[in-house]
Amino acid sequence: MKRRDFILKTSQTGIAISALGLYACKNSKEKKIIDETKEIDNSEELFFKMSLAQWSYHRSLKSGAIDHLDFAAKSRSFGFEGIEYVNSFFKNKAQDMSYLKEMNSRADAEGQKSVLIMVDGEGALADADTKKRLKAIENHYKWVEAAHFLGCHAIRVNLAGGIDEEEAAKAGIDSLTQLSDFARGSNINVLVENHGGFSSNGAWMSRVFSQIKNENCGTLPDFGNFCIKKDEERNCLEAYDRYKGMKEVLPFAKAVSAKSYEFDNQGNETTIDYKRVMKMVKDSGYTGFVGVEFEGKTISEEAGIQATRDLLIKVGKQLA
C-alpha cells in the first residue's frame, strides 16, 4: 500500500459521507459530521495529491480556538497528506528556529508534508515606488529561508501595488527575478497567486510569466480569486472570467488552490464548476498538490473542508 493510500485510509474522517448527510447536519445546527467508521474508497488513483490550506481555518486560528501548532493534526484528521501554511499565523516566528523545529516535529508526527508558505503583509512586489518595492523583496527573504527549513517547495507571494498596467508588469518581473534568484540557493520556488488587482487578470499574468526566465518562479492558480477590483465593502466591481483566467495561468503553475465557498445538496460548489476546472488542471499536465481552501460562511470550517475534499475526490475519480 502506498503511503498516500495509507494516510487516506487511516484518516479519522471518512471521505464517503454523503452530501445529503452533510447538509442534514447543517440543518440540525452543525452536528458533528465526522464518521470514524467509514474508510476512503481510493481504488482509483487520482492525478493529483491533496493538501490543506491553513486559511481554511482562519476564523478558528484568529479567535484562538485552534493553535497554529495543531494545524498538522487537523490536516491529518481529514486524510490530507500535505499542509500549506499562512505566515500571518506565525508572523514573528520566521527566524525562531526552536519554533520551526516544533512545526517540523508536529508535521512529521502526523505524516504531513509541508508544501508551502503563503506570504502576506511583507510589502508590494509591483509597487510603483522603487524603494518600497526593494524593501518588500528583502522582507520576503526570511520566509524563503523558513520555507527551506520546513521542507516546503515554495512560498506564495502577492504581485500587488501597481498603478499602471505596463509599469506594474515591469516592476513585478524585476521583483520576481530578484527574489527567485535569492530563493534558488534554498531550492525554493516563488509563486504568484491570482489575488486581486492586476494579478487577477489572467492575460496580464501570462504576459508577466512569459518574460520570466527563472525556472523556480511560477504561478499558484486559485479557482476563486478572479476579482480585479472591489469596493470598500469587499463587493466585486470588476471580475475576470475564471475559466479563461485559469487557462492562462495554468501553464506556469507549480501549485494549485481549490477555493470553495458554498455547496448545493449534491455536494457541488455553487459558484465554481469543479469538474471543468480540474479537467483544465489535468490537461495542463499538473500532477502536484491541490490545496483545499474553504472560505465560506454558511457552514462550519470543518464542514466546508470536508465538502471541498469530497468534491475533489469525486471529480478526480471522474477524470481518472
Residue 44's pLDDT band, with cuts at 50, 70 and 90, is: low
Share of the chain above pLDDT 70, in %: 86
Question: Averaged over 49-60, what is the pLDDT?
Answer: 98
- For 195-220, the pLDDT digits (tens) are 999 999 999 999 999 999 999 999 99
Alpha carbons 315 and 240: distance in angstroms, whole number: 24
- For 68-126, the pLDDT digits (tens) are 999 999 999 999 999 999 999 999 999 999 999 999 999 999 999 999 999 999 999 99
| Amino acid present at 253 | A
Helix segments in 17-164, DSSP class H: 19-27, 58-63, 71-77, 97-109, 130-150
Alpha carbons 300 and 308: distance in angstroms, whole number: 12
User: Which pTM was predicted?
Assistant: 0.88
Cβ neighbours of 295 (radius 10 Å): 17
* pLDDT surpassing 50 at residue 56: yes
Question: Could you tell me if 317 and 78 are in contact, meaning their C-beta atoms sit under 8 angstroms apart?
Answer: no
Alpha carbons 271 and 90: distance in angstroms, whole number: 31
pLDDT of amino acid 234: 87
- For 113-148, the pLDDT digits (tens) are 999 999 999 999 999 999 999 999 999 999 999 999
